[in-house]
Structure 1
Amino acid sequence: MELNVKNEEYWKFIKDHEQDNPAQLVLKQKQFPSLPLKELALQIAARQKAKTKLPEWYSEKVWFPPKLSLEQCSSEATAKYKANLISGSSFADLTGGFGIDTYYLSQNFAKRHYVEQQQNLCDLAENNFQELGADISVHNISSEQFLSSISDRLDWIYLDPARRGDRNQKVFLWEDCSPNLVELLPLIFEKAQNILVKAAPMQDISRAIAELESKVKSVYIIEWQGEVKELLYILNKEAVEYPEIHTVQLSDEGKPIFSFNGDKLKEEESSIKIGIPQQFLYEPSPVMMKAGLFKQLAQKFQLSKLHPNTHLFTCQEIKKDFPGRVFKIENQIPVQKKELKKYLPEMKANLASRNFPMPIAQLKKKLGLKDGGEHYLFATTMKGEEKALLICEKVK
């Protein structure tokens, strides 16, 4: 570990300068000759990034890895939500990393294990767990070594395979991640009753399930602050052809604001009405777009779809609990600059394209449209394959 994390002088400096520009602090080494300013500045930079994402850890004497990538680390909200999905007597996190998930997931277990190959991360985790009052056993070994070393079966195993390739590129297939979940799965099932796996939001869910040979019992798609942040898979040995798909929107406290469940079989068997635009337009949230449960969503809220491949819905009433944005349709016009100018003389709107054969940038240029204003403009394809612009105002 590069810093003595127990040094109170270091902590005082961090607290005194936590709002300062880290890059400027490094230049003041002569003013603080006894302090490792470069390392302390890195801590301050990491804490500034973590203030919103990890508020509980930010408020404690927690040390961050010098080159922590907060994009890879779970947020406090998503980690707290995951902790409500699993419980039992014994638990192990095979990909401990910074320890965010380990800390929250382990709170529902009597025996807790953190497993990590990198020594510096193990040292930091051990210190941070102590500061947070968490009794978690730290193991500085590989996930394979840990699994081979334990004799008792665990109730739950969690892992978040690293999603970076040899050239630091992002990867999404299980076989390209580290550890390789497909290869490791037989050994994990020997040692655990249940498995929870975190994956990147860009992963193809259907393909991921197929690669795991139908061992997926359920899938959770997690949205926080308007973005899909995580995919979660719960696995067991019993084969399931159609896993239940849970979509969840989280508050900053990790509580579900909205949830919706379905599966691909119900989606295939469900019907949906295709109709013309009515008074209100409904745009599904990112988590519902990722799930693809459009027919089940339409049935639940009694909505029509504008086109089989246009994921926009419509009806005459406002549905208060709809997971997404709601707009009032003011006009429907052809995709023509001359027509648009009649309704938007300032030629300013927030343009979105849904099932439309022209890139946004090209369409803006064609229409002579500027970004901004109170109006929302949807370029889309209608029931009869005609292209149209829907001029809308957002319903607050």
Structure 2
Amino acid sequence: MHCISEILSFADKYRDVNPDRILLGKNFIPHELRKAVALQVELRRKLQHKLPSWAESHVYIPSKLALEQSSSMTIAKYKTRFVGEKDVVADLTGGLGVDLYYLSRATSEMCYYCEKQEQLAEAAKFNYNLLCQDRIPHVFCGDSLSMLDDLISKGVSLIYVDPARRAGIAGGKEYERKYAIRDCQPDVCKLIPLLPQNGSVRLLIKLSPMLDIKDTLLSVGVASEMHIISQKGELKELLLYCDMSKEISWEQVPITVVDLATANQFIFTLEEEQNAKYQLAEHIAQYLYTPNAGIMKSGGFKSLAIRLGLQILHPNTHIFTSNCLCDKFPGRVLKVHEIIPFHNKNFKALKSSVKAANVFCRNFKLTTNQLRDKLKMKEAETPYVIGLKAMGDEQFIVVAIPV
């Protein structure tokens, strides 16, 4: 690997130059360094947004993919709630090293970074020396599972792992299986039996939001908590926390749904959801509520409705309603302006009164694009025009405005 310090020195000198000109134009950068220098300049703005303190320290980013797959500062800091002051933390899938950096700041003990790819391990070692004034994590390059016994002998009490989705080939075509935890590498279902079962070593697993929640809890078997993390309406991560000393059935594992932009959180269990006796709405009331991405992923619709005193329009529509405003709802809150049964004769009046709108459909006979085309409406932030199924199987168009 080329000298990282030299690459960063050139990147700082040419920070205002277009990356394409760095690659192809005339400059004093050695030809073999140009690609790496251009990459640092290109990623600087994205790094500033995602990891501002890292950007200020002029860290080295070995690849676009490494930055894309890393946690943001906000999400990495969220994970520190699982770290005790005396925990010794090991990251078995180090990557760029962002998660371990923040986890290590929450403990007074030494921490360990493991990564198979030499390029990533070298970058992490360099960056930790820039970022950490003391207790610089130990960096190991190699197969982390082969180091597991040694890490446990060093007193590791919390293991963090971010399994990668495993690619495969079927019918001559490449594909990625995204829906089962056993399809990820390393397979945490094989990792768990290798750990002490007395709770002396806990496990924190970052999972793709594509994974099925029930299947994941059933497959792991020893989960203590699940966290569904979204930010600004976008689903980001699933986190699974496992303390092998606690016996919790998968139906009773607390599921925390949190949006980091609002700090709004909702906690429920699959058992609570299964047994929830919710109330179906007899009509569309004054307010509508559409859940955020985390609630949609969790499937905790009935539990949420009961907890907040809301009625459900239809079991499969996932929109709530009430006459009294609920300002603690984790999602979008709308005030109903007009309710139109879905009949063609009513469209003419709606098309003439609303020229542009934010159109979407839930459990409706048309897709969002089909409804927008039928109404001949341009896109706009507000008002909302919603196609939905409610009371029984009746279809409605609702015009609403944000609260």
TM-score (norm 1): 0.91
> Mind listing any 5+ residue stretches in structure 1 that lack a counterpart?
none
Deviations 1:154-182 (A, max 9, x none): 21111001124144735342222111111
How far 1:263 sits from its partner (Å)?
Answer: 0.6
Aligned to 1:258: 264
Contact 1:223 1:250 in 2 (8 A): yes
Aligned to 2:348: 341
Aligned to 1:145: 146
**Distance in 2 of aligned mates of 1:320 and 1:171:** 35
Alignment equivalent of 2:379, drawn from 371, 378, 382: 371
Contact 1:165 1:171 in 2 (8 A): no
> 2:326 matched to 1:319?
yes
**Distance in 2 of aligned mates of 1:322 and 1:11:** 46
Distance 1:69 1:5, change over 3 A: closer
Which of 217-226 and 313-322 deviates more?
Answer: 313-322
**Distance in 2 of aligned mates of 1:308 and 1:187:** 42
Aligned to 1:247: 257
Deviations 1:232-290 (A, max 9, x none): 00112243212000011113xxxx61111111111122221111111111111111111
Distance 1:68 1:248, change over 3 A: same
**Distance in 1 of aligned mates of 2:63 and 2:331:** 38
> 2:59 matched to 1:62?
yes
Alignment equivalent of 2:280, drawn from 268, 274, 277: 274
Which of 278-287 and 171-180 deviates more?
Answer: 171-180
Distance 1:20 1:316, change over 3 A: farther
Aligned to 2:90: 92
**Distance in 2 of aligned mates of 1:305 and 1:290:** 17
**Distance in 2 of aligned mates of 1:194 and 1:16:** 45
How far 1:126 sits from its partner (Å)?
Answer: 0.6
Alignment equivalent of 1:196, drawn from 189, 201, 204: 204
Contact 2:181 2:187 in 1 (8 A): yes
Deviations 1:269-321 (A, max 9, x none): 22211111111111111111111111221122211111122211111222222
Contact 1:19 1:48 in 2 (8 A): no
Contact 2:264 2:330 in 1 (8 A): yes
Distance 1:96 1:181, change over 3 A: same
1:62 aligned counterpart, secondary structure = coil
Aligned to 2:171: none
Aligned to 2:114: 115
Deviations 1:4-39 (A, max 9, x none): 2223xx4454235435432233222x2325473222
Aligned to 1:330: 337
How far 1:338 sits from its partner (Å)?
Answer: 4.2
CA RMSD of aligned residues (A): 2.1
Which of 228-237 and 372-381 deviates more?
Answer: 372-381
Alignment equivalent of 1:223, drawn from 219, 230, 234: 230
Contact 2:178 2:210 in 1 (8 A): no
**Distance in 1 of aligned mates of 2:142 and 2:67:** 23
Contact 1:216 1:235 in 2 (8 A): yes
Contact 1:42 1:66 in 2 (8 A): yes
Deviations 1:176-205 (A, max 9, x none): 211111112211346952110000011101
**Distance in 1 of aligned mates of 2:150 and 2:28:** 47
> 2:130 matched to 1:131?
yes
Distance 1:52 1:343, change over 3 A: same
Q: Percent identity?
A: 33
1:371 aligned counterpart, secondary structure = strand
Alignment equivalent of 1:50, drawn from 20, 44, 47: 47
**Distance in 2 of aligned mates of 1:315 and 1:5:** 59
Distance 1:299 1:33, change over 3 A: closer
Deviations 1:200-234 (A, max 9, x none): 0111010011111x211110001112211000001
Contact 2:10 2:29 in 1 (8 A): no
Letter in 2 for 1:291: S
2:5 aligned counterpart, secondary structure = coil
Query: 1:72-91 counterparts in 2 under 5 A?
Result: 72-87=69-84, 88-91=86-89
**Distance in 2 of aligned mates of 1:164 and 1:72:** 15
Question: How many corresponding residue pairs?
Answer: 386
Letter in 2 for 1:369: M
Letter in 2 for 1:158: Y
> 2:247 matched to 1:210?
no
